[in-house]
Amino acid sequence: MTICIRWAAALLAAFCMVLGAISIAAAAAKPPNIVYIVADDLGFADVGYHGSEIKTPTIDALAKGGAQLNSFYAQPMCTPTRAAIMTGRYPLRYGLQSFVILPEQTYGIPTDEKLLPQILKEAGYQTAIVGKWHLGHADPAYLPMARGFDSQYGPLIGEIDYYTHEVHHVVDWYRNDKVLHEKGYSTELIGREAVRVIDAHDTAKPLFLYLAFNAPHTPYQAPQAYIDRYKDISDPNRRTYAAMVSAMDDQIADVLNALDQRGMRDDTIIVFQSDNGGVRDALFAGEIETKGDLPASNAPYRNGKGSLYEGGTRAVALVNWPGHVKPGEVDGMIHVVDMLPTLAGQAGASLAGTKPLDGIDVWKTISEGAPSPRNEIVYNVEMFRGGVREGDMKLIWQTPLPQRVELYDIAKDPKETTNLADAQPETVAKLQARIQQLGQESAKSLFMQATMGAYMHRELGTPALPNDPAFFEQGD
């Protein structure tokens, strides 16, 4: 009898161990949901936790409970940054390093690039894009649902009127890659759609939701109720801009509440970033006319969107995952290309089929505040300029004659006020050599090809058409 009891006890213990192992394996087999939120042209200083008068309680709470990425670098403009998120590779590798894709242009992110939603979909994720795409709109092969997304909603370009959803009197608003005529304030529509995606999600699968607001990009438009919150701001553009940011913050709150209601919040990585610094130069304010002063602030950093200075490329960014990301400030350098390998690592996704990545898995830096494995930041390299940082030293090289060379010690001079180029010629030469190397590795700019090809066809009557590289290859 005693032997039987001992045998039964041993069997029960073994059974419990097996069940425990199965439970642990099942938990480990289910990767986290990922909600990747991108703001459009949000100034570095224009969130509450950076001291702004603009009220962003939801973003502030995410920052307080997560990692505040103080040295997170994006590309200086929209299309290049979004391409870097999607590929984990510098946009110079595939021709998207210059400017943005304009409405009349027909190129897009090359189809031989394997994108983050494709990687995650192969790992079992349900994938959705809600909001701005801006990586190709003129060919079905460039559209989101051909690039790994199960569903799509929002603008394909993004520089739209917030109420008519038009650019140049053409509707830029789509559901599942088909034009959609719909009324409403775009920020609120995007937020509602994100909630709908979460509410309809099959929780047996992990979710990748790429939530890309077009706010607070120009034109400066917001519901009056939001504008009335900021009666104490005298400048009308700043007042409306603040309202736009608050409207976006409220929609993010609704998204978080939807995650809570579905029991998904604790299993979800939230990433929030701006695609570049806020716009400070009218050249980069967009094609839709904006009157008055530009309202974004990138303080304490210099300049803004479109520039290689810190104000153009050091973006607001945070990562929040309860119980997995240690709250606090993270000062280590992180480049936007790092997000693909970092998130793929947490998802247990294979990187097979990607081209050589420029990104590095920086999860320990994000989650634990460990030193960053990254020592270099490539701000951008184009045919007319380049910017590279190694350690604390940053070089900006404007190559059109007369050339201009600027060298800054970012640790000591983050506002970039003291040019050290004359005092440190060896450092200049070293960083110029790196820019030259990257330039040699670069693909020809698709924007320059399209722009010059269109000009040659229109003005000179040559056979070169938009995106025709013939003009550029004559001297090869």
Residues marked active site are found at 78, 134
CB atoms within 10 A of CB 339: 26
Distance set, CA 453 to CA 130, 303, 381 (Å) = 33, 31, 21
Q: What is the DSSP string of 391-447?
A: TTEEEEEE-SSSPEEEEEETTT-TT-----TTT-HHHHHHHHHHHHHHHHHPPPPHH
C-alpha Rg value of the chain to the nearest Å: 24
Interacting residues of 204 by C-beta distance below 8 A, sequence separation 6+: none
Question: What percentage of the chain's residues is helix, strand, coil (to nearest 5)?
Answer: 35, 15, 45
Give the tokens for residue 6: 């001992």
CB crowding 149-170: b at 16 or more within 10 Å, else e: bbbbbbbbbbbbebeebebeee
Output the CA angle 346-250-60, nearest 5 degrees: 60
Q: Which residue has the tokens 């103080």?
A: 70
